[in-house]
Amino acid sequence: MTESRVGGYALRGVLGQGGQGVVHLAEDRSGRRVVVKILHAHMAGDEREQRRFVNEVRAIRRVAEFCTVRVLDVGVTDGRPYIVSEYVEAESLQDAVRRDGPRTGAALHRLAVGTAAALAAIHNARVVHRDFKPHNVLLASDGPRVIDFGIAHALESATTTTTGRVGTLAYMSPEQITGPEAGAPSDVFSWAGTMVFAATGHPPFGQGHPGAVMHGILDRAADLDGVPAAFRGLFGRCLAKDPAARPTAQELLGRLLDGDLARGDDGDDGADLGRLLHDAVARAQPPHPAAAATTPDRPAPAPPEPSGPSEPSGPPPSPARMSRRAALAGLGGLVAVSAVLPQGEPVGARGAPPAFWKPLGGPVPASDTAVLTVSLLPVPGGQVLLTTHADGIGRLWEPVTGRHVRDLADRDSATPATREAARAMFVVTAGGASRVLSAYLDSPPRLWDVATGRRLRTPFVNSGNWTDGAWRGGEVLIGLTTLDGRPTAYFTPDRKSPAAPVTMVARNLMDGQTVQKAWPIPRAEYADIVDVEIAGPSLLLVHLDGDVIEPWDASSRRPVGGQVTTRADGASPERFVLARVRGRLMLLCAYEDGTIRRWDTRDDRRWPPLTGHRTAVTALWAGPFAGRPAAISGDGDAVVRLWDLQTGAAWGDPLASGIGKVNSVVGGAVGGRPVLVAAGESGMLRQWAVDPRAR
């Protein structure tokens, strides 16, 4: 290090000095202005501690760049660590309040939303700020920016023996004072203290003698005099002495965007959330090219001309609603969308009354691998959620609470990692009891009772083992359904030629007895049968060459509709589901362009499509929901939508789920309430209650 250069950065002047180090204005080799913070010599530690510090700061760079100042570089020169960050021409919240006085109305709300979004992004990257205070909030022209996140933790990790406690006393949490364990809830406490300062001009526990301040943080209630009534309860919960009683940053952000709090107390439109988040998107840089490639910045495709019966559609969104929706939709393809939007928050935050969607807790980390499917199954006394995963394990969860109940895996294996992974899992419910059949690569299938988690006797062991989708005995398991109210497994012999008819055999799932002798689904006149799949109780979907679908009733062994040609605009569908609407059987097909097209299976008439997804629909479900036929869809941008199949209109605003690419969705009723569940590529599970009266 020289007097004028650190690493590859030319120092141009001193911006300030604090307890950690000296902050310089600098330029990189391209002439771009940056900020270089050089730590004091006494904080540098030995070479090992310096390396640890550099690694800690590199981890900070995972933080999404919403409402934060980017960390660009970190290094050590002449034994002194330095940090390089984005230069933002702005004053701190500390200086602004000291000069202009407290923030009120929409200005306070904008500040709260922006800083809570930043905190959610920081926590989403598994980083803890540990020194959230007014001095570390910059009031930039495009919204507040949070700085120095995680730096305190990096210092603490590298130099614990020399630095003591890390943080600023007036904004410390109780756990920062009493012990070393200060996680994300500590940041929420400090955030609330910072917001109290912004609203009143003083910290919540005073700023006099350190002993008095410390006593206040540990034992006294926060002083919230002067805090607007709309914020008092929220700030008070964040300042709870017990970390477990505080909301998470994402829950906090959800509350700030919810209901009356999203309108300023001076009667205006409160924080202009559409503009705020639009600005956040505009300055966000995707962390890798793949994220950029999936960002939905193209317009939604125009729907084809409807050829079926017309349906009423909802009114066009107002300009403000469209702006907000566009801004939020732009977040979908980015890795840290869940950090910017409260997980489960409607994408168009003002489009639906806030009570329409109610998140049920936060995201449930169901697995380290992708959740492939989610089902809502009845058990004695209630229901249970079943998830299947890329690791081949089935997992059971309590609805609403998200509490893990058990895994469907053999108890004789020492750990889940040593258990054999299922190649496929089939589910059926009959007589109020749910069963799961797991199929494996090199061992017999296993049958599980969902209510108890017990492994049952599997009736098909003697048929041979499961290998690449076929039984060695020459049969392929199609799936499970109900036949005359009984749980039934359908098999088909492995055909030698696609021109041959498909022969179906049905066997009772519990005892293996044949309940339907072999019967053929004949080859169509001009098309070979490509596949057969279970589509519902006693319903089969027969796939023919040329993207033709024909539904069959398994009980009568006859077609229940005509053949539907699903190829549209040169594209084949990605997902199929059947729904009963006004006594008719409707086929819904999802396409890569985000469109869901619908046909009446009786006469191949096409109904107007369901449009709104901006990327490929990756999950689709249909069934009764809140007293009417409905469909639920999810896409690669983590957006979930609910549709009323009677009207063909969107039902409620789209949801930014925060679970990554949506792999599976399901709807049902839990405790008399309509509940929607989504599962994602990230391994997360998410639930919402729906109040249809609020629409």
Active site residues: 131
Q: Using H for helix, E for strand and C for coil, what is the string for 446-508?
A: EEEECCCCCEECCCCHHHCCEECCEECCCEEEEEEEEECCEEEEEEEECCCCCCCCEEEEEEE
Q: Are 538 and 479 in contact (CB under 8 A)?
A: no
Closest of 541, 456, 455, 564 to residue 490, by C-alpha: 541
Q: Are 34 and 85 in contact (CB under 8 A)?
A: yes
Collapsing DSSP states into helix, strand and coil, what is residue 510? coil
Provide φ and ψ at 405, rounded to 5°: -95, -55
Q: Are 648 and 605 in contact (CB under 8 A)?
A: no
Q: Are 419 and 410 in contact (CB under 8 A)?
A: yes
Closest of 349, 335, 226 to residue 286, by C-alpha: 335
Spatial strand order of the sheet with 404-408 comes to 371-379, 382-389, 394-397, 404-408
- Terminus-to-terminus CA distance in the chain, angstroms? 63
Helix (H) or strand (E) holding 99: helix 93-100
Q: How distant is the alpha carbon of residue 460 from its chain centre?
A: 38
Q: How distant is the alpha carbon of residue 265 from its chain centre?
A: 31
- d(CA 245, CA 182) in angstroms, rounded, equals 14
Q: Are 189 and 248 in contact (CB under 8 A)?
A: no
Helix (H) or strand (E) holding 108: helix 105-124
- d(CA 476, CA 529) in angstroms, rounded, equals 15
DSSP secondary structure, 391-425, as one string:
TS-EEEE-TTT--EEEEES-TTSSSGGGSPPPSEE
Q: 593: Cβ–Cβ under 8 A, 6 or more apart, which residues?
A: 301, 569, 571, 616
Phi-psi region of 659 (alpha: psi -120 to 50; beta: other; left: phi over 0): alpha
Q: How distant is the alpha carbon of residue 258 from its chain centre?
A: 18
Q: Is the dihedral of CA 612, 617, 623, 625 positive or negative?
A: negative
User: Measuring CA to CA, how many Å separate 572 from each of 94, 402, 540, 547?
Assistant: 58, 36, 19, 7
Strands, DSSP E only, in 45-102?
A: 71-77, 80-86, 91-92
